[in-house]
Amino acid sequence: MRFLLWYRLIVIFIGFCIEVDIESDFYGGRFLDKNRIMHTLLLVVLVTSILVVGGCVGEIGGDKEKITITDSTGTDLEINYPVEHVVTLTSDSAEAVRALDAENKIVGITEYMKGDSFWGDIGDKPSVGNIFSPNAEEIASLDPKPDIVITYTDWSDDLEDQLEPFGIQVVRLDFYKMDTMDREIEVLGEILDREDEADELLEFYGDQLDKIETKSGMMDEDMVKEVYLEAYKEYSTAATNDTNYHQILNLIGSVNIAGEFTNTYPEVSAEWVMEKNPDAMVKVVQDSDTLGYEVEDTENAEQLYNEITDRKGLSSTDAIKDGELLLVSQGVLSSMKSPVGALIIAEFLYPSLYSDIDSNEVLEEYFEDFHGVGHDGIWYYK
C-alpha cells in the first residue's frame, strides 16, 4: 500500500510537469526542457520503487502486510501484520498481551483463566479449552475469527494440523522462562504492532534483573545457600536450565541441590533431601486458594507451612530447623512476574543484602503500570 501511494504521487507530479515549465535555482534560473524533466523523474520513480519494495518489512499480500517471525520452537512463521485477533491458550501469553496494552485483540482464552478477578473483562472472553485439550472447532468458530493462537512450546503437538484447515496459525511462545522472555516480548510486540510498549516492559524487566545481578556479584562464597526447591507435588523438584525455577536460583546466586539431575522435574525422596541437608527450602504453591491474587488471609498457607515442617524427613534438615522455609505462589515464578518472584526468594534467602529493595513495591509497580489493576492478594508466606 505504501508503494502504491508513492507511485501515484509521483505520476501526478510528472503529469503536472508536462503541463508547466519548472524554474530551478540549481540551474541558475534557466528553464529545464521537458525531456530532461521526464528522464529525471522516471529515474526517481525507478529508484524509489526499488527502495520502497526492498525496504518493506515483509511482502505485501492483499490488504495486509506479511512479516516473518521465529517462535520459541525455532519455527519461522509468515503471518499477517499486524495481528488483530488472538487466542491466548495460556494465561502467561494473556498476561503478556495485556502487559503490551493489546488486550482488546484477545478473542478467546484458556479455561484456566475463568473466574479469576485478576483478568477483569478478559475473563469473560469465550473459553476454548486448555493447553492439554484445545478445542479447534470452538477456536475456528470464534467471531471475530482469530489470526493466531498463542500457546506453549510443549503440549498439543498436533494443534497446527487441527487449525491449518481454518487458516489459523499457531505461534508458540512460553512467557515463563527467564532466558527466553526478552526475545518473546520483542516478537509479541512486533506481531501486535506494540513495539513501544514492548520496549517499556523490557526496560522494567531488565531493571529487576540488573538489581539481582548486582547483588549476586556482591556475595561472598560463604554467603551462598544450598536450596531445596519443591514443585507442586511432594518431593518433586526442578533441575536443568530448562526450568524457570532452576534459572531463578542460579540468578540469585544460590545452589540448587537438584542441579545434578539431567531430567527436568525429577522426583526425589525424604532420604535424599535429608542427605543433602539444604540450608533453605522453597515450596512452589499452585493452589490459588492458598497463595495468589485473590487470597485475603494466610490460613491455608499457614496450614501448608505446618504440614511441611512436620513432614517426616524434612524436619531434621537445617532448612526446617532454622526456619528457612518459604512458600511462594507459582504465579510469580513462572510467568511475566518471574523477576519479581526472583526478588521475593532473594529477599528471603539474603535479607541483609536486599534490605534496600522491597519486592512488594516492585510487584505493585508491575500491576499498576502494565495491567491497570491494584496490588491485591498474598503471594508468599514465611
pLDDT in tens, 33-75: 444 444 544 444 444 444 444 444 444 344 568 999 999 999 9
pLDDT recorded at residue 24? 35
Query: H-helix or E-strand containing 100?
Result: none
Task: Please check whether residues 372 and 238 belong to one and the same domain.
Answer: yes
Task: Please check whether residues 33 and 88 belong to one and the same domain.
Answer: no
Contacts of 267 (CB under 8 A, 6+ apart): 233, 235, 236, 237
pLDDT recorded at residue 155? 85
Instruction: Average the pLDDT over each of 28-32, 78-82, 98-102, 216-220 and give the range with the smallest value.
Output: 28-32
* Residues 295, 289: Cα–Cα separation, whole Å: 6
* Residues 359, 147: Cα–Cα separation, whole Å: 37
Instruction: Average the pLDDT over each of 60-64, 120-124, 171-175 and give the range with the smallest value.
Output: 60-64
Helices 359-371 and 91-99: crossing angle in degrees, nearest 10, is 70
CA distance to 237, 261, 309, 313, 316, per residue, from 269 (Å):
10, 14, 15, 9, 14
Q: Is the peptide bond before 144 cis (omega within 30 degrees of 0)?
A: yes
Task: Please check whether residues 122 and 51 belong to one and the same domain.
Answer: no
* Residues 149, 126: Cα–Cα separation, whole Å: 14
pLDDT in tens, 291-332: 999 999 999 999 999 999 999 889 899 999 999 999 999 999
Task: Please check whether residues 134 and 175 belong to one and the same domain.
Answer: yes
Contacts of 25 (CB under 8 A, 6+ apart): none
Q: Does residue 305 lie in a domain region?
A: yes
Task: Please check whether residues 119 and 51 belong to one and the same domain.
Answer: no
- Beta bridge mates, 150: 88, 171
pLDDT > 50? residue 223: yes
pLDDT in tens, 247-261: 999 999 999 999 889
Task: Please check whether residues 18 and 144 belong to one and the same domain.
Answer: no
Q: Is the peptide bond before 82 cis (omega within 30 degrees of 0)?
A: yes
Q: Does residue 235 lie in a domain region?
A: yes
End-to-end CA distance of the chain: 59
Task: Please check whether residues 259 and 327 belong to one and the same domain.
Answer: yes
Show which of 37, 56, 75 is a domain's final residue.
56
The length of the chain is 382
Supply φ then ψ for residue 228, to 5 degrees. Answer: -100, 110
* Residues 338, 352: Cα–Cα separation, whole Å: 22
Task: Please check whether residues 185 and 100 belong to one and the same domain.
Answer: yes
How many separate domains does the chain show?
A: 3
- Beta bridge mates, 226: 255
Its domain, for residue 127, covers: 64-193
Task: Please check whether residues 238 and 355 belong to one and the same domain.
Answer: yes
pLDDT recorded at residue 260? 86
pLDDT recorded at residue 13? 41
* Residues 123, 12: Cα–Cα separation, whole Å: 52
Q: Does residue 188 lie in a domain region?
A: yes
Query: How much is the pTM?
Result: 0.79
**pLDDT band of 184, cuts 50, 70, 90:** very high
pLDDT > 50? residue 2: no
Task: Please check whether residues 242 and 132 belong to one and the same domain.
Answer: no
Task: Please check whether residues 167 and 302 belong to one and the same domain.
Answer: no
Task: Please check whether residues 84 and 40 belong to one and the same domain.
Answer: no
